[in-house]
């Protein structure tokens, strides 16, 4: 069942300028207000109203694959696991599925591969020639409680080792105590240490207490120069939810209107089904527009999600669901 030949992973890519940041505007931060009931009502409308089916669903799921940071961040990670992950990143769908869809020539691959610092070289070697960036988590991931000097050295070492993108975790205590100047200064130092690498700031949204804190932290991180804002480490009790996506996407829109810099968004943790993935993508499209649904401005932090997407695409092409053990990641 071939898809439209016009599907292309780069067709909506805007020209993205690296976020240079802006001075900290505390008066702007202090004016932030969030209507929680309105946020919940808006998110419920996405789930209840917006559905994509058949050809459209398959196309959206292919887009999701191209925006995915395929991730392994476990204590038992090994070089062989990272190698298998990289092979899957380069070939996320089986050849028979690509042939059934008629998209063999589109070079479908994921948006990035996310690993610990120790496996940067392994990932680079196995992704050579694919143009898939290597993403390294840093700054004492996931708790972020190591000394600042150590965090900065960690960022610099990851960049020196070849990581093109750095995922850092913020100090949650600055948010919970309302010390926005300290948070701004901290992210500014990480930005300087990251050099030419893209800086993605992980807010650990499930630990920030309120939606207002999430909105304020998002704005402060962008003012400090973050190229992406990301929901979670994946290790918290609550990770990426639609209310978090709505609040953070509107903060991105506010910052874009304020400065002209387009900042990316990455929901991560807890998105394990194609249905959940589509809800986040639809919300981003409605709030920020189609140009944000590309790897330059949108990533999905995922490990098991790809398995379910592959199952859904197989169901689209064959009419039958296969078991999960046929869609291993690493």
Is 110 within 8 Å of 92 (Cβ atoms)? yes
- Specify whether 167 is catalytic: yes
pLDDT beyond 90 at 185: yes
Q: Where are the domains of the chain?
A: 29-322
Q: How confident is the model at residue 322 (pLDDT cuts 50, 70, 90)?
A: low
- Specify whether 230 is catalytic: yes
Identified catalytic residue from 69, 151, 266, 276 = 266
Task: Let me know how many helices (H) and strands (E) the chain has, helices first.
Answer: 13, 8
Give the H or E element holding residue 324.
none
Identified catalytic residue from 167, 227, 276, 308 = 167
Identified catalytic residue from 191, 230, 276, 308 = 230
Q: How confident is the model at residue 7 (pLDDT cuts 50, 70, 90)?
A: very low
Is 300 within 8 Å of 74 (Cβ atoms)? no
Q: How confident is the model at residue 180 (pLDDT cuts 50, 70, 90)?
A: very high
Give the H or E element holding residue 51.
none
Is 64 within 8 Å of 309 (Cβ atoms)? yes
- Specify whether 182 is catalytic: no
- Top CATH class, 29-322: alpha beta
> What pLDDT digit, counting tens, does each position of 192-237 carry?
999 999 999 999 999 999 999 999 999 999 999 999 999 999 888 8
Structure tokens at 312: 């859904």
> What pLDDT digit, counting tens, does each position of 90-113 carry?
999 999 999 989 998 888 999 999
Structure tokens at 161: 């080792």
Structure tokens at 73: 């961040």
Nearest CA-CA partner of 100 in 62, 52, 51: 62
Structure tokens at 240: 């990426």
């Amino acid at each position: 069942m071939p898809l439209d030949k016009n599907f292309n992973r780069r067709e909506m890519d805007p020209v993205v300028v690296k976020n240079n940041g802006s001075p900290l505007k505390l008066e702007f931060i202090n004016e932030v207000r969030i209507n929680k009931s309105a946020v919940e009502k808006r998110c419920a409308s996405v789930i209840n109203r917006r559905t994509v089916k058949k050809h459209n669903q398959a196309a959206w799921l292919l887009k999701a694959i191209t925006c995915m940071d395929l991730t392994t961040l476990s204590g038992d990670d090994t070089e062989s696991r990272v190698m298998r992950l990289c092979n899957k990143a380069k070939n996320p769908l089986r050849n028979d599925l690509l042939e059934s869809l008629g998209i063999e020539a589109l070079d479908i691959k994921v948006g990035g591969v996310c690993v610990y610092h120790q496996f940067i070289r392994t990932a680079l070697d196995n992704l050579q020639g694919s143009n898939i960036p290597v993403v390294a988590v840093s700054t004492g991931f996931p708790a972020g409680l190591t000394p600042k000097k150590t965090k900065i050295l960690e960022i610099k070492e990851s960049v020196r080792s070849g990581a093109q993108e750095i995922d850092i975790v913020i100090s949650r205590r600055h948010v919970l105590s309302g010390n926005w100047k300290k948070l701004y200064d901290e992210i500014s130092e990480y930005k300087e240490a990251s050099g030419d690498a893209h800086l993605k700031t992980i807010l650990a949204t499930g630990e920030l207490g309120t939606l207002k804190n999430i909105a304020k932290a998002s704005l402060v991180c962008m003012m400090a120069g973050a190229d992406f804002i990301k929901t979670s480490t994946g290790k918290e009790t609550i990770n990426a939810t639609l209310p978090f996506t709505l609040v953070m996407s509107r903060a991105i829109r506010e910052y874009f209107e304020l400065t002209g810099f387009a900042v990316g968004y990455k929901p991560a943790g807890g998105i394990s089904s194609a249905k959940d993935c589509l809800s986040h993508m639809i919300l981003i499209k409605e709030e920020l527009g189609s140009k944000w649904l590309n790897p330059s401005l949108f990533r999905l932090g995922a490990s098991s999600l790809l398995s379910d997407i592959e199952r859904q695409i197989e169901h689209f092409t064959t009419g039958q669901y296969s078991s999960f053990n046929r869609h291993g990641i690493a």
